């Protein structure tokens, strides 16, 4: 496969290259793509040096697959140009996720929807992916009615500039700001931009994407998204009300038998998911599983995953692997 990585110099792009190498993705030619600022820079992949090219050049090279993580505007403008050239695009931005003509895919849940005609495929939001990985099997068993989620999201979710802001604050350097306020020793109830309804765009992604991924609009999701000064890994406090009652042992069993999900849940040994241990792992970790004692059929849990891996790069590459395995590309 001739593979273009669009946004190769970014936070997600770097992890994308690492995951492609780790999983021995069948790359015959790598095309690292970034903005004009980075054209000519060298990227090393599996011991070989590649020069970063611009988007125009990359399209003309007609890659088989393009993995996009260069922001929504770049995706809106360029994904269709790659698709027209015959490239299958898997896009990490929010540009196509809610477009009814595009599939929104978490491979463990709905990769079977993909066909050869899908030339632009959307990768869900990072905080959505880890949420639905845990919710999907429970929904199947007990039927969700309503989900209330509060996130604790790492600065790596905002990209290179935000990680630098936190590093600068720790080092006492007065540098460029990615956020309107300091992030060190702080918590910002503000992920992505505010919308007219008072929610942030990140909160609305969490509210809307799960229904599309699960092809089911009978449940609702209410979200509050908060940025905290962790370097990598998003955490989520999740309250789920089901139609049907459940047994906690059964919930743990279902989750532990779900591919890609790991249950870490033993209060006697202080065992629960944390971002520092989820770092650099592809699994979604679930713990603090307990009954909400204030209302029937309701569960509380804590979900953690590496936002740059399962939340972005790994999920994208799993989609590409599925396309190859099923001869859809």
Q: Does 316 bind ligand NAP (CB under 6 A)?
A: no
**229 near ligand NAP, judged by CB under 6 A:** no
Here the tokens at position 292 are: 């909400």
Q: How far is CA 80 from CA 49, 77, 89, 321, in A?
A: 28, 7, 9, 21
Q: Is 128 in the site for ligand NAP (CB under 6 A)?
A: no
The piece of 69-77, 180-188, 249-257, 264-272 that touches ligand NAP (CB under 6 A) is 69-77
> Is 190 assigned a catalytic role?
no
CA 277 to chain centre: 17
- Alpha helix segments (H runs only) across 23-71: 55-60
- Stated length of the chain: 329
Residue closer to ligand NAP (CB basis): 9 or 151: 9
* Interface with ligand NAP, residue 299, by CB under 6 A: no
Non-local (6+) Cβ contacts of 19 within 8 A are: 25, 309, 313, 314, 317
Question: Which residue number, 11 or 238, has a Cβ lying nearer to ligand NAP?
Answer: 11
93 part of the interface to ligand NAP, by CB under 6 A? yes
**Residue 35 contacts ligand NAP per CB under 6 A:** yes
Q: What is d(CA 212, CA 205) in angstroms, rounded to the nearest whole number?
A: 11
Given the residues 139, 191, 234, 279, the one annotated as active site: 234
Of 63, 107, 137, 157, the residue at the interface with ligand NAP (CB under 6 A) is 157
Strand partners, 194: 200
Residue 50's H or E segment, with its range, is strand 48-51
Q: Give the one residue of 19, 30, 31, 34 binding ligand NAP; rule: CB under 6 A.
A: 34
Of 4, 11, 149, 240, which one interacts with ligand NAP (CB under 6 A)?
A: 11
The answer to whether the CB of 133 falls within 8 A of the CB of 311 is no
Number of neighbouring beta carbons within 10 Å of residue 96: 22
233 contacts ligand NAP (rule: CB under 6 A): no
Residue 241 interacting with ligand NAP (CB under 6 A): no
Specify whether 126 is catalytic.
yes
Q: Which stretch binds ligand NAP (CB under 6 A): 3-11, 201-209, 244-252, 285-293?
A: 3-11
* Two structure tokens written together for 178: 């990615």
The verdict on 32 binding ligand NAP (CB under 6 A) reads: no
Transcribe 257-315 into DSSP letters. TSTTEEE--BGGGTB---HHHHTT--SEEEEEEEE-TTSTTEEEEEEEE-TTIIIIIHH
Residues in touch with ligand NAP (CB under 6 A): 7-13, 34-35, 37-38, 55, 69-72, 74, 92-93, 126, 156-157, 159-160, 307-308, 311-312
């Amino acid at each position: 496969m001739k593979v273009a990585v669009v946004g190769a110099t970014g936070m997600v792009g770097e992890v994308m290259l690492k995951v492609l190498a780790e999983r021995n993705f069948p790359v015959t030619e790598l095309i690292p793509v970034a903005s004009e600022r980075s054209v000519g820079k060298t990227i090393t992949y599996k011991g070989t040096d590649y020069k970063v090219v611009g988007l125009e050049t990359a399209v003309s090279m007609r890659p088989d697959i393009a993995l996009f993580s260069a922001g929504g505007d770049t995706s809106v403008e360029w994904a269709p140009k790659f698709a027209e050239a015959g490239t299958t695009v898997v896009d990490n931005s929010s540009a196509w996720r809610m477009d009814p003509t595009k599939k929104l895919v978490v491979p463990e849940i709905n990769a079977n929807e993909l066909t050869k005609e899908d030339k632009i495929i959307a990768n869900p939001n990072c905080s959505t992916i880890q949420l639905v990985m845990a919710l999907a099997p429970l929904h199947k068993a007990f039927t969700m009615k309503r989900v209330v989620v509060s996130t604790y999201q790492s600065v790596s979710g905002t990209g290179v500039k935000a990680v630098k802001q936190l590093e600068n604050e720790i080092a006492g350097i007065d540098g460029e700001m990615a956020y309107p306020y300091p992030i060190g020793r702080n918590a910002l109830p503000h992920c992505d931009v505010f919308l007219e309804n008072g929610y942030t765009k990140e909160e609305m992604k969490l509210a809307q994407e799960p229904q599309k991924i699960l092809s089911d609009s009978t449940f609702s999701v209410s979200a509050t998204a908060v940025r905290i000064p962790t370097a990598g890994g998003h955490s989520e406090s999740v309250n789920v009300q089901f139609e049907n009652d459940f047994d906690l042992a059964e919930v743990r069993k279902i989750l532990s038998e779900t591919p890609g999900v790991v249950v870490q849940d033993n209060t006697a040994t202080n065992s629960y998911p944390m971002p520092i241990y989820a770092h650099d792992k592809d699994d979604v970790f679930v713990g603090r599983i307990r009954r909400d004692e204030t209302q029937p059929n309701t569960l509380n849990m804590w979900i953690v995953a590496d936002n740059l891996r399962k939340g972005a790069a790994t999920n994208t590459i799993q989609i590409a692997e599925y396309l190859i395995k099923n001869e859809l590309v």
